[in-house]
Amino acid sequence: MKLTLALLARYAEVDPESGLLNLTGGGVDVFGLKRVPTEFTMACALRFLYREVESGQTFQVTLATLDPQLQLVGKPTDFKITPHLGAFHVEGGLGTYTVTGAITLAVESVGLHSISITIDGTIAGDIPFQVLLSDDE
């Protein structure tokens, strides 16, 4: 199982039949906040590639917000995925599995943060984002 796409968005959904990913504001990575510490919720999209032998296996995915010093902030988001090969899968090829959902980002300071993504406890990637203080309404 390999992570090939990970991003925050204003809105994200995946069509369960086709696997088509629909995004609005995909790739947002700068947040102007009125104050810190705070928490806010964002949509998130993740796409995985997997080998045929991994079809039907369950994987534990964890998303954890890290502060500028790479320390955990807030509570990690954990969920399980079980990819299955679709009707249009070509024998010998890789399968794709896309998941969307909401993640609560807890931030305690300004600066560069990230969302660490692990699959079965192994680091698979991250989503960097920046937090600034802003007076904008």
Sheet holding 38-50: strands in order across? 2-9, 38-50, 95-107
The pLDDT assigned to 137 comes to 52
The percent of residues above 70 in pLDDT, for the chain, comes to 99
pLDDT band for position 86 (cuts 50, 70, 90): confident
Fold exhibited by the domain 2-133: Immunoglobulin-like (2.60.40)
pLDDT score of 18 more than 90: no
Integer angstrom CA distances of residue 31 from 21, 67, 87, 88, 114: 23, 14, 40, 39, 12
Mean pLDDT of the residues in the chain: 95
pTM here is: 0.92
The domain limits of the chain are 2-133
pLDDT score of 19 more than 90: no
